[in-house]
Every structure is written in C-alpha cells, then in structure tokens.
Amino acid sequence: MEQTLVLLKPCTLQRGLVGEIISRFEKKGLRLAGMKMMQLTDAILNEHYAHLREKPFFQMLKDSMMATPVIACCLEGVEAVRVVRAMTGATNGRNADPGTIRGDYCVSNQQNIVHASDSLETAAVELARFFKPEEIFSYTPSNMNFMYALDER
C-alpha cells in the first residue's frame, strides 16, 4: 500500500468544503491514516514549494497558504499517489476536468482546494515534513475484503 499527502488549503476551510473533500477520498476507498489541522509557516512553505521559489507568484502562494490553518491528511491505498493525483485534477481549476476535485470546486490556478503529492518519492518526503511518525496510524478497515480483491493488496 502507498501513502500520500493531501493538504486541504485555506480556501477549502474558508469555503466550508472540508467535509465534502474528505468525503470524496473516503468514498473512493482510501484509508485515512493521519489527519491534523496546522498553521503553516514561511519556513515549511519554503521547503514544500522549493520548486517554485523563482516564480513571480511564490510569495503570493505562500501568503495564501498561511491565510488560515490547513488540514493535512495521510491517505493510504493501492497506488494511492496516482489515484489521489488523478482525483485532484490539473493545477488550474479552469483547466481541470469536471469530475476531479479542482474541476468541480474551483476556478483558480492558486486557490485550488488541495495539495497532493506527485510521486511516491515526494510523498515520503512530504509526509515526513508534515507528520511525526506517531501521527500516522495503522488499522485495518473492516470492509477491506470488499475494497480490494485478495490479489490486489
């Protein structure tokens, strides 16, 4: 099973969409292995968005991510990284396909509801950035035999 990081961004808290977004991941069948509210800082965002530090929108992006606390989630499932990215959709909500989270809930390139890790390697680094090991829980969902075939997990 893979684990991946999802951040519900400040726009999602402000717009009262937290439950709806988490519900989509739950209904899909991903296991919630960790979840917490946290206020992001300049330091953690400099790391998290290091690949964007030369972009003209970098400070604006960081400010938007510090506008309220965020909710960090660790989601688990077979190929969870790819599954969650597919559910998230293209970065710009105006380009994201209907049916994806960004396609259904936003019209912005920046205020785009969620962050989702983009590879297994990134997911490991990002989960360690946002969660202590003891904040990630392992438990077996009772419906596991109905979520996956025996040879899938």
Active-site positions?
A: 115
Amino acid making up residue 123: A
DSSP alpha helix (H) spans, 1-151: 10-14, 18-28, 42-48, 58-65, 80-88, 101-105, 120-130, 144-147
Between strands 31-38 and 70-77, the pairing is antiparallel
Total chain residues near ligand IDP (CB under 6 A):
9
Return the number of the residue (61 or 124) whose C-beta is nearest ligand IDP.
61
Amino acid making up residue 71: I
Instruction: Supply the minimum distance, in Å, between the C-beta of residue 10 and ligand IDP.
Output: 11
8 A C-beta contact, residue 57 and residue 112: no
Site for ligand IDP in 15-74 (CB under 6 A): 52, 57, 61
List the x/- string, 89-128, binding to ligand IDP by CB under 6 A: --x-----------------xx-x--x--x----------
List of residues contacting ligand IDP (CB under 6 A) = 52, 57, 61, 91, 109-110, 112, 115, 118
